Amino acid sequence: MALDILVLYGSYRRGRLGIRLADYLVGGFEGLGHKAQLVDAKAIDLPMLDLRYSDYPAGEAPAAMAELADRLTAADAFVFVAGEYNRGMQPGLKNLVDHYLKEFDRRPAAIASYSMGRFAGVNSHADWTVTLSAMGMAVVPERLSVGQIGQALDEQAQPLGEGGAALERGFDGFASNLVWWAEAAKAAR
């Protein structure tokens, strides 16, 4: 069964390297026969959180926010591409997520973390696990972490060297775990 998977990414930095991982994941899930789409916080450009989507009266939320709410609601599963900033969460991704709540409830989430260093975003991964669980999401136990992101994927999101080979080895288990949870949640809904 083909699933509808959204890959959420939140860097606003110049020369964003994590977009390579987001693109790799979209391609990987598409290669498995699923519908996969990138949700880029920078492209959507929601304001800093003032009102959540649910705080607006019906029909009064900004158009981009309402469109994304519909897209989130339609998705079967989510992949959070979690860059690590100062040993914590990426603020752009966190801001995007904070605009919504019920749209994520009882949906599976997988976390693909990355960093410029060798620790591959493990601190961000831990922070996101707590946050997404508190939002009512089922966070799959399989993790995908990419250290030294600039050396693991090229500009076209193609794996490079040892880091890219490790990413390719880890993707199958990561993807199959998310697919299992997404199919189970979809059947329950």
Q: Compute the half-sphere exposure of residue 97: CA atoms within 13 Å on the CB side of its CA.
A: 28
All structural domains of the chain with their residue ranges: 4-188
pLDDT in tens, 160-189: 999 999 999 999 999 999 999 999 999 988
Residue 152's identity, in one-letter code, is: A
Q: How far is Cα 120 from Cα 129, in angstroms, rounded to an integer?
A: 15
Q: Taking the domain 4-188, which CATH number applies?
A: 3.40.50.360
Is the pLDDT reported for residue 143 higher than 80?
yes
pTM equals 0.95
What digits encode the pLDDT tens for the residues 59-116?
A: 999 999 999 999 999 999 999 999 988 787 889 999 999 999 999 999 999 999 998 7
